[in-house]
Amino acid sequence: MSGRGTRRGRDVAVLLDDFGHRLPPLPPADAAPRERGPFTQLVPGRGMRGRGRGRTAALAPLSVWRMTSEQTPVVWPLIATSGLPPTGAQMGLDLLSGGAFYCDPVGWVTDDDIPVTNPNVVVFGKPGRGKSATVKAFALRMLAYGYRTLVLGDTKDEYEPLCRALGVEPFVIGHGLPARVNPLAFGPLGHGWERLDTAEIRRREALVFARWLVLLRGLVASQAVPFGPVEETAVGEALRLLTGYRSGATRLTEPTIPQLWHTLDEPPPELVSGCRYADRRHFLDATRTLRDALGSLVKGSLAGLFDDHTSIHVDWRAPIQSLSLSRLEPLGDHAVGIALTCLNSWGQAMREIADPGDLRIVVRDETWRQMRLGAEAMKSLDANLRLSRRDADVQILLAHKPSDMLTAGDATSQAVAIARDLLHLCDVKVLHGQDQAVGDELGSMLGLTPTAQRLVTGWAVAGKGRALWLVGDRAFKVQTVLTGPELRLTYTNEALAAGGPT
Ligand SMILES: Nc1ncnc2c1ncn2[C@@H]1O[C@H](COP(=O)(O)OP(=O)(O)O)[C@@H](O)[C@H]1O
Ligand SMILES: [Mg+2]
């Protein structure tokens, strides 16, 4: 054996020469100096020697795999990130990319690369799948970005722990309690009316009256009474009389629904002539169903709750505000639906003018109770979203399924069209677990792929907080992750745990 450093055997050129082949001669070496490599100092595999320089005694085990480029994509699918920027609330895991999932509806609207044109969110899911918990966690995590939350109707008082944790006492609405909310409130639009020029007065008048009409149409129609042009004229004219707008008052008076009903029931001559009726009798005959519907609301669902001027003082700078409605629960879905309709309209009034930096999340939980009142109530919800002046508000609707409104016995194509419209007003959709039948319904309404639909009816049902998030036309498989304190704040199974009814 030759010693170390000597070459053994013959080199290739000599070997080939033996077989009669000549290798072409090597061109003379390039005289130009070699470019210096970027790494002038090489670090050995175990790290640099010396104290405190991170040298390791043992090398980390390295597993080596060999495969063709055809096989690599199978072993390492190399899934790209979600494509959503990491801004806003970190909600949990994006299970398709393995990364974190962030929710920032307003940020998505302003980003041209994300196919989202409004910041509204609709959350669907079977009860108990974590809809409310996801929304509460979102509200809590968006606080850091300056967002405040307004819960328009907390039908189970389940936002109360969250409010108290943030140092806010929620308003409680119920019979025998002092809190009153006037759904016909002017809101900030009514401020400083006497200083406004005519054009601005006209504009504001149009906004306020449009909102009132939407509300009254929803309320009257919930009593299964039609609200057509006759009713609209009568209500519009009565409201103009009541506010003093007709008589050209510079300071408008805020009406209430009982006052409206009284004016219609005991019509002053101006109202009769303003609506172009020959006489009082004529007016009363034409508006009988309207008056009866309003009368039964005033004496029934609205009594003691929405029948007077607003008596609560809302601090809009508090991190969260909530109106608890659980006292209405024993009165049934209809009463709760009416209350939600009134609160939605009032909440919209409160948000019509706001400071530019006043970012808000408006939560409408258990929206399905309002949907159940029928197509008109659904339309009023739709109008609330549509009329919402402020694109900086993130409006969140929570419901079980889109067809809730259809169970009111109104499975017409019009009702379906309204449900679809409402969905279009919410570019972000969060689909928690659903039964097969509802999955099919969602699938056809939203145009889900079979895979996406299976996620909703299979994977999402199997765990709380699991949902398919549709951001514009992109889909994400997301598991909401709650921290320990959040789990306690969102706990809604007291009744179950106590063995009582749910
Ligand atoms: N991501 C989650 N991880 C763990 N528990 C959750 C999660 N989401 C919800 N929960 C728990 O499940 C229960 C029901 O959730 P909830 O949000 O009230 O359901 P829903 O509003 O869909 O009826 C709550 O006690 C809540 O704490
Ligand atoms: Mg809930």
Lowest mean pLDDT among 122-136, 190-204, 213-227, 418-432: 190-204
Ligand nearest to the CA of 491: 1
Nearest 5°: the CA angle 292, 408, 454 is 155
Please say whether the dihedral angle defined by the alpha carbons of residues 220, 224, 229 and 233, taken in this order, is positive or negative. Answer: negative
Q: Residues with Cβ within 5 Å of ion ligand 2?
A: 132
% of the chain beyond a pLDDT of 70: 93
Within 8 A by CB and 6+ apart from 127, the residues are 400, 502
Give the lowest-confidence range in 68-72, 319-323, 362-366.
68-72
User: Atom 14 of ligand 1 has which residue's CA nearest to it?
Assistant: 128
Q: Which residues line ligand 1 (CB under 6 A)?
A: 125, 127-133, 464-465, 480, 482, 487, 490-493
Please state which of the ranges 50-64, 111-125, 301-315 shows the lowest mean pLDDT. 50-64
Domain ranges of the chain: 89-181+310-494, 190-286
Q: Name which residue sits closest to atom 27 of ligand 1, judged by CA.
A: 491
89-181+310-494 homologous superfamily: P-loop containing nucleotide triphosphate hydrolases (3.40.50.300)
pLDDT band at 3 (very low <50, low <70, confident <90, very high): very low
- Which residue, judged by its Cα, is nearest atom 9 of ligand 1? 130
The whole-chain average pLDDT of the chain stands at 86
Which ligand has the minimum distance to the alpha carbon of residue 134?
1
Ligand 1 centroid to Cα of residue 366, in Å, is: 14
Q: Which atom of ligand 1 lies closest to the CA of 491?
A: 25
For residue range 421-435, what is the model confidence (pLDDT) as tens digits?
888 889 999 999 999
Residue 196 pLDDT grade (very low, low, confident, very high; cuts 50, 70, 90)? confident
Lowest mean pLDDT among 37-46, 216-225, 354-363: 37-46
Q: Per residue in 6-25, pLDDT tens?
A: 567 778 888 888 888 888 88
What's the gap in Å between 129 CA and the centre of ligand 1? Answer: 6
Q: Which ligand 1 atom sits nearest the alpha carbon of residue 432? A: 22
3-class secondary-structure state, position 59: coil
pLDDT digits (tens, 9 = 90+) for 115-162: 898 899 999 999 999 999 999 999 999 999 999 999 999 999 999 999
